[in-house]
Amino acid sequence: MAPLHGSALVPVRLSTLSTDNHLASYLALIRHAAAQTSDRLCICLDCPEIPASQHRPVTIHEALHAVLSALYIAASEAAYRSGHLLLSVDVVFLGWCGYDPSDADWDVAIGFEADRECIANTSIPFQIYEPPPSETNLKHLADLSRKSQSSRPEIYTQVAVGGTFDHLHSGHKVLLTMACWIARDRLVCGVVDPTPERLQRKMASQYMEPTRIRIHNVRRFLTTIRTGSAIAFDVVPIVDDLGPTRYESGLEAIVGSKETEKGCEMVNSVRLENGLKPLDIFIIDLISPDGSVDDIALKISSSFIRQHLQEQASQVKP
């Protein structure tokens, strides 16, 4: 059994987002690192297409979404299977995020020998990963990443996203990252402040985080993936599914999940009734390398985490 680390840094270097055949090896590395880590795992993605496309982000939106989902799923799946359900995973884009992970106090960096240079100027111990012989089929990843966004603007000045964001997990982080990716000036993030009636309908509702904590966690994550950015992050409580999208005329796009797709369409119906332009809709999900919604996504949910916390509490002897 490999020693368990509290926190770990994993460098990932891809030459391209759409066809890089090294991704399979990096996914195996991430699974290995997540299985060895109990608290925090930071995956640092270095790909020249990311900084090169930051002024026209919609052009690589689908490719980035596919790779980002694959990275988060690999880490979350391994954490789940290893019993580290509360492992916090962050994926940051080097050359775009402005965040220097080497500034943090990491227990270890885990990676291939060729990537040791990524932490050469730090004091972080480096653990070399030796992959076992395996084959991973990623043929559909390139197909998914070629979807065209040519009919849309290359970037949006103001973007909206919303959700409950309870116990911020990998699904939330993919959603927030992709919303931030296409926004140039402002990201409006509505965090649902549920009524008592709505709260009662939640599984293990007593373990739902207070609204102020959820707002803090969303803001902290956004400032991590876009440190020093000129983007304004307006993270606000909302009491319904519309929030500021009902009346903000400057918004141009909305980012949602498959579960909230109908809600995004409702937003546009209300905006049209109010004489406002409809928003371009982007739907984000945890996408596995074969292009399907991965089974592990069913376990990456706030309700699953709350139920886990409830079960842990019930096992504590009085």
Q: pLDDT of 121-139, one tens digit each?
A: 788 999 999 987 754 444 4
Q: Which amino acid is at 165?
A: F
The domain defined by 5-144 folds into Rossmann fold (3.40.50)
Q: What is the mean pLDDT of the chain?
A: 86
Question: Over pLDDT 90: what percentage of the chain?
Answer: 61
Q: Where are the domains of the chain?
A: 5-144, 155-283
pLDDT in tens, 93-110: 998 998 777 777 899 999
For 159-184, what is the mean pLDDT?
A: 95
For 249-261, what is the mean pLDDT?
A: 94
56, pLDDT greater than 80: yes
Check: CB of residue 45 under 8 Å from CB of residue 12.
yes
Lowest mean pLDDT of 64-68, 230-234, 277-281, 295-299, name the range.
295-299
For the domain spanning 155-283, the CATH number is 3.40.50.620
289, pLDDT greater than 50: no
Beta strands 5-13; 37-46: pairing state: parallel
Lowest mean pLDDT of 7-11, 133-137, 249-253, 306-310, name the range.
133-137
Lowest mean pLDDT of 12-21, 26-35, 60-69, name the range.
12-21
- Rounded to whole angstroms, the Cα distance separating 76 from 169 reads 9
Shared fold status for 5-144 and 155-283? yes
290, pLDDT greater than 50: no
CA distances from 308 to 53, 85, 130, 163, 312 (A): 40, 8, 33, 21, 6
